[in-house]
Structure 1
Amino acid sequence: MKGAGSEILVHPGRCTGCHACELACEREHEGLSRVHVVSRNGVNFPAFCRHCDVAPCVSVCYRMALVYERGRVRFKQESCTGCGLCEIACPFGAIFTGANSYPIKCDGCENRESSGKIPACAATCPSGAIEMRPVEDFGKATRYRAFRYVRSGGFIGEGS
């Protein structure tokens, strides 16, 4: 999530796999979580949209159902054909196809942000695996390293 000078930072090494973030997201979004805890090689991490500045999902969407506006990748259902290209293109595995074939993705809890609250997943995480940090804490090298590790199926450890 981007906006108000902050972004969500994920610490995979801190995630215990408790799924509290999923439950909080479900409560915020009418029973349908936009974040999912993924476990690979004994490491848990919450997978959700990172709202990339140059988003692969936006690039492949020929109907412009996904657009980058005001620091977020936004979904416009009325333009979507349900082709699933965005789900394939996401390097973070953060777009999921719903029962109606439309993508389900994190909206950064825009409804909470308007009232000055942080996203439900970050507010709920008991282990501090999900937190809000100032944008200045994220350099291009950090973003590239995260993209490269996730894309290769690896994980970003605490010491990376």
Structure 2
Amino acid sequence: MNRFVIAEPSRCYGCNTCMAACSVVHKAVGLQGQPRLKVVTSGDRTAPMLCRQCDDAPCARVCPVKAITHEHDAIVLNETLCIGCKLCAIACPFGAITPGGTPVTGVVATGQGYVSPAMLAPQEPGAASDSVHTLHPLLAWSPGVRSVAVKCDLCDFRATGPECVRVCPTKALVMVADSELSDAGQTSRVRAAAALDIPGPFTASEEAGS
């Protein structure tokens, strides 16, 4: 089973510290600066939404250039191979992949040819030409910018693991591995057996230790 990060909504209060930390550590190693997770609100609860590292990942199955692969108990995205087709974002059942943008060159394509970005006049907020910024990320497009898929990589380039888990002030984010799930399942079985007074291969000391 793949490793993944899980969020506990009852502990999250929407400070966005996880998003800021994610952006900083990835920019520091030359990757997309867009956060790999997003704090979402549902009713009066908030919680970060990020890649579930699916064992049978739909994003990896639809990627036409094999930029998304299954390695090291995780679903890994190679940003340098991504062609920006956005198929992975469409296939993801959790909406955990969003396209980011990176400048292709020092010029920007316009209807009048190619110009330097500094020569482009700033648009007034609400102007018709500014409407592209209100589009959903899957539909938005900017001249001279290459779209690149952005998803959680569990900060595999850091020995300390996911930075979002490390910096969360309320410990709402937890890294989960296969061994931890097995331990949690064993604990649940012990407690259920004790509550129902079902004899089993569990001793009182084992139950107390769980």
Indicate which of 34, 37, 41 corresponds to 2:36: 34
Match of 1:123 in 2: 166
Match of 2:54 in 1: 52
Indicate which of 138, 152, 171 corresponds to 1:106: 152
Secondary structure at the aligned position of 1:73 is classed as strand
- Note the residue ranges of structure 1 that are not aligned, 5 or more in a row: 143-160
- Note the residue ranges of structure 2 that are not aligned, 5 or more in a row: 28-32, 102-145, 186-210
Q: For residue 136 of structure 1, report the CA deviation from its aligned partner.
A: 3.3
Indicate which of 9, 19, 43 corresponds to 2:16: 19
Could you list the per-position Cα deviations for residues 85-123 of structure 1 after superposition, in whole angstroms to 9, with x for gaps in the alignment? 1111112221110123110111111121xx3x1311001
Query: CA RMSD, aligned part only?
Result: 2.1
Q: 1:42 to 1:88 in 2, by over 3 A?
A: farther
Q: What is the aligned length?
A: 133
Match of 1:66 in 2: 68
Paired amino acid for 1:13:
S
Could you list the per-position Cα deviations for residues 46-83 of structure 1 after superposition, in whole angstroms to 9, with x for gaps in the alignment? 11112211111111112211111121211223432211
Q: 1:69 to 1:133 in 2, by over 3 A?
A: closer
Q: 1:95 to 1:68 in 2, by over 3 A?
A: same
Q: TM-score, normalised by structure 1?
A: 0.73
Match of 1:86 in 2: 88
Paired amino acid for 1:95:
I
Secondary structure at the aligned position of 2:22 is classed as helix
Secondary structure at the aligned position of 2:41 is classed as strand
Secondary structure at the aligned position of 1:46 is classed as strand
After superposing on structure 2, the runs of 4+ consecutive aligned residues of structure 1 that deviate more than 2 Å are: 40-43, 76-81, 132-139
Q: For residue 134 of structure 1, report the CA deviation from its aligned partner.
A: 4.3
Match of 2:181 in 1: 138
Tell me the distance in 2 between the aligned counterparts of 1:121 and 1:24. 6
Secondary structure at the aligned position of 2:147 is classed as coil
Q: 1:90 to 1:78 in 2, by over 3 A?
A: same
Paired amino acid for 2:58:
P
Could you list the per-position Cα deviations for residues 121-157 of structure 1 after superposition, in whole angstroms to 9, with x for gaps in the alignment? 0011111210124423437xx9xxxxxxxxxxxxxxx
